[in-house]
A and B are shown apart, each in its own frame.
Chain A
């Protein structure tokens, strides 16, 4: 007897799947909607039908114009019913149907009746529905009622009117602005949400009147705002005013800070959070101002509520970017959050710790991160990868565990952006920390064995070709590279062929084997791959196609001297003819502005200083060009090239800048000239240098520029001899001499024989910093301690008043031309003292390390204590002399 019951229980699972809307169909529901027209309305039935209509709309179903109109008209009949539940559903469906203007008129009278009803619920909802559907003309008709509603004693009615006001401010601002007296009264309401809505509306109305907003905020911060939500708004408006004031140059005691600080003791958590966040986001916030905010956030870190923990850790994470020291107090609480069930909280905690942690905690942190990497999304993983890269550059000694971590996550599942972030990080680490090179290259090799991204594969293959041949055992990479030729698409295969050729050329022992491998590539199915293989085989075989070894090196390892943009333009302009396209005709000059920008940009994301001269930089190109000029080929190895120094004002007829190339006992000035006059052709362009104020220099030779057509930059050179290894300084005055010819604009043909002319350029100086190469060291402390302490020279300097410590640090770094180490170039924004670590290579290949301690007193006067250690004591002297004279 009990059996049927049990059976029923078994069926329970199926019943769970039951849905009242199963198999629901639009047509059928529209049919059902005819019940709205029944003379005897069944409110319950009608409510159900409206729910079904809403369900359909909600599931993404849409009604045709005709269907919507039909439903709308029958719905209006339902105003006859007195059933409150049904009326609520009617309001909802009207809002969802968003009727057209001529339809609106039908319901206006019904809604206006409800608006003046005795039932509060009707009034509030009728206001909201009406305001949603009417236009400006109708609005003026009901304006009177709305103004009354704003100050209605029922908070629900009042809020409905205020919120509607907020929406309509976008469409009918001039009308809503007339209500500000009523809104102001509502701000004083005892009902929390009315106060919130009223404050929001009042602020919106007055937002363009700075003075009015400031008065409003001033009054309210003194008075008691009852609603926590309104208080949060007030905090936001206050922050805005503080920002505006500091933008307008008002200084002194920060206004309203006391108000923000007092909000930290509010009883509502949301107000505390809002205030703490506002304080951390103040411009140039001082650590004294920060402390109370950090303290309350720290308390929230151990809150049982995930929302609070999340908000607190998220705010602290942002603070850690600018004020890592201020957050270190929270490290213990933060570490316990790594195991938080909520992965968002855990990620934020990890990345905060990576920013604030110290060297000793790295390994422990890495262990904890490994445990949770697999269950967070790519966007978080990228954040972690970037944090780890900067950590690795900060603590180079820890590269082993950090690199292992990166290679492990490289093997895991992940999207392109994530993988690229890892590859970029490994490449950066390899470049910056030489010890990490071989290990890092192998990780990359393993990655390309199973890499689905063509872009990453080709990038890695290129990088391998540049770095691999110089390792202790280049042969171990060949297998990985040759596998690509078998397994990948044509683009990757072509890249692999190039890389193989580089190994073959650089490593004599591998040459025969590489030749065999390349021969197999000749039978590849892809044209490009075959072409490349053929070309490289003939280079390796040196069968006369390419003349000299030097050319081959240039061909294989040279970067394209001309910027790609220029090459593209030249190729587009090239018309097929008898004459072949000449790569040398492509202008090599990058317009200096974008170049500077690119450099600045390139620096930031990697978190590096200028890279040491080895990787692809302008330096390589300079070295190649100079060694190819016979006059300069005997000068030996190029020590340093300066960045270009402008010798002309912007927008003059001829624009000239100069690059100073320093050799052991020579200096070469490279004048980059541009002719900006379309009607002129310059020939025999030379620079006459007067070195009378540079006694230790004597002019050796010069290499004029034969022809300088319009807007096609060219280079002239002048070489000087100087005492060997001596950092001679001096001042040079320059005059540009040339023959100027008028040209026919359409053909570019010269019209006359030309006249001689000259053009005065600005003076040029060779300074001591020109003899310093900014080479970084991976571990400053070790390097410092390995230097002879006896050679240390310490002195103090007054640097005078400066705007900030950061400015002084930059000035000294630039003056010395050295590389800042371990991220010490960034100064905390309100620090009173700072230590900057610099390293460099002085001419004669003398290693120099500098510890510069800066201090600032209350009058912004800056003093610096400079300790210098160098392999040669005379160099330490020279550095001090440099600072003393600078």
Chain B
């Protein structure tokens, strides 16, 4: 029987493929080293692609499609720098939590997510870095669902 589509993980990696924030929702990668190996393969696989303006998509290991999760990575690499991401790590963790609950997509609208996680991107006083992250996440969101349903 059909199960609701599930997200297996969401990764935010830096420009060297190192972990900034990740969240796994399936048992496919039971240990930390398995997860790191997976992150490395995602990174090597996607570093050649160019996701400055668009979400990229990659097929990996028999259709584990990592699509726009790595879009977060890639967007972060090109538009957002690592320090800003780390400075706002709490917000990133909260965003992850608002996007996906145990593998099931919870919310797809970037503004709603930002609002719920406390990132108020419409607030003119919000620091630039927060805006960039929320925009990055917004673009990722927009495509997340679409790729999920593929």
Q: Are B107 and A193 in contact (CB under 8 A)?
A: yes
B32 near A: Cβ within 8 Å? yes
Query: Which of B55, B90, B97, B150 is within 8 Å of A306, CB to CB?
Result: B55
Q: Are B59 and A47 in contact (CB under 8 A)?
A: no
Complex contacts, B107 vs chain A, CB 8 Å: 156, 159, 193
Q: For the complex, would chain A's binding face be called helix, strand, loop or mixed by DSSP majority? A: helix
- Write the nearest CB–CB distance from A782 to chain B, whole angstroms: 40
Q: How far is the CA of A89 from the CA of B36 in the complex (A)?
A: 25
- Write the nearest CB–CB distance from B20 to chain A, whole angstroms: 9
Q: How far is the CA of A277 from the CA of B124 in the complex (A)?
A: 44
Q: How far is the CA of A310 from the CA of B59 in the complex (A)?
A: 9
Minimal Cβ-Cβ distance residue in A for B22: A58
Complex contacts, A60 vs chain B, CB 8 Å: 32, 35-36
Q: How far is the CA of A229 from the CA of B116 in the complex (A)?
A: 21
Q: Which of B1-39 contact A (CB under 8 A)?
A: 1-4, 19, 21-23, 32, 35-36
Q: How many A-B residue pairs have CB under 8 A?
A: 138
Complex contacts, A304 vs chain B, CB 8 Å: 54
Q: Are B83 and A16 in contact (CB under 8 A)?
A: yes
Size band of the interface chain A makes with B: 35 or more
Q: Are B90 and A51 in contact (CB under 8 A)?
A: yes
- Write the nearest CB–CB distance from A760 to chain B, whole angstroms: 53
Q: Are A85 and B118 in contact (CB under 8 A)?
A: yes
Complex contacts, B82 vs chain A, CB 8 Å: 16, 19
Q: Are A229 and B145 in contact (CB under 8 A)?
A: yes
Q: Which of A50, A163, A306 has the most CB of B within 10 A?
A: A306
Contact with B along A387-416 (1 / 0, CB 8 A): 000000000000000000000000000000
Q: Are B106 and A159 in contact (CB under 8 A)?
A: yes
A788 near B: Cβ within 8 Å? no
Q: How far is the CA of A651 from the CA of B101 in the complex (A)?
A: 58
Complex contacts, B55 vs chain A, CB 8 Å: 305-307
Q: Are B4 and A47 in contact (CB under 8 A)?
A: no
Complex contacts, A305 vs chain B, CB 8 Å: 54-55, 143
B126 near A: Cβ within 8 Å? no
A236 near B: Cβ within 8 Å? yes
Q: Are A233 and B57 in contact (CB under 8 A)?
A: no
Complex contacts, A197 vs chain B, CB 8 Å: 104
A274 near B: Cβ within 8 Å? yes
Complex contacts, B57 vs chain A, CB 8 Å: 306-307, 310-311, 342, 344-345
Q: Are A232 and B2 in contact (CB under 8 A)?
A: no
Q: How far is the CA of A308 from the CA of B21 in the complex (A)?
A: 27
Q: Are A306 and B54 in contact (CB under 8 A)?
A: yes
A482 near B: Cβ within 8 Å? no
Whether A163 contacts B102 in the complex (CB less than 8 A), given A92-B97, A236-B2, A311-B150, comes out as yes
Q: How far is the CA of A224 from the CA of B59 in the complex (A)?
A: 34
Q: How far is the CA of A207 from the CA of B1 in the complex (A)?
A: 7
Q: How far is the CA of A68 from the CA of B39 in the complex (A)?
A: 27
Complex contacts, B131 vs chain A, CB 8 Å: none
Complex contacts, A605 vs chain B, CB 8 Å: none
A375 near B: Cβ within 8 Å? yes
Q: Are A156 and B59 in contact (CB under 8 A)?
A: no
Q: Are B108 and A121 in contact (CB under 8 A)?
A: no
Q: Are B97 and A229 in contact (CB under 8 A)?
A: no
Q: How far is the CA of A236 from the CA of B4 in the complex (A)?
A: 10
Whether A229 contacts B105 in the complex (CB less than 8 A), given A16-B82, A237-B2, comes out as yes
Given contacts A88-B117, A307-B56, 8 further A-B contacts (CB under 8 A): A16-B81, A85-B118, A88-B94, A121-B116, A204-B3, A228-B145, A311-B146, A344-B58
Which residues of chain A have a CB within 8 Å of any CB of chain B? 15-16, 18-21, 47-48, 50-51, 54-55, 58-60, 84-85, 88-89, 91-92, 95, 121, 128, 132, 156, 159-160, 163-164, 166-167, 193, 196-197, 200, 203-204, 207, 228-229, 232-233, 236-237, 240, 269-270, 273-274, 277, 304-308, 310-311, 314, 341-345, 375, 377
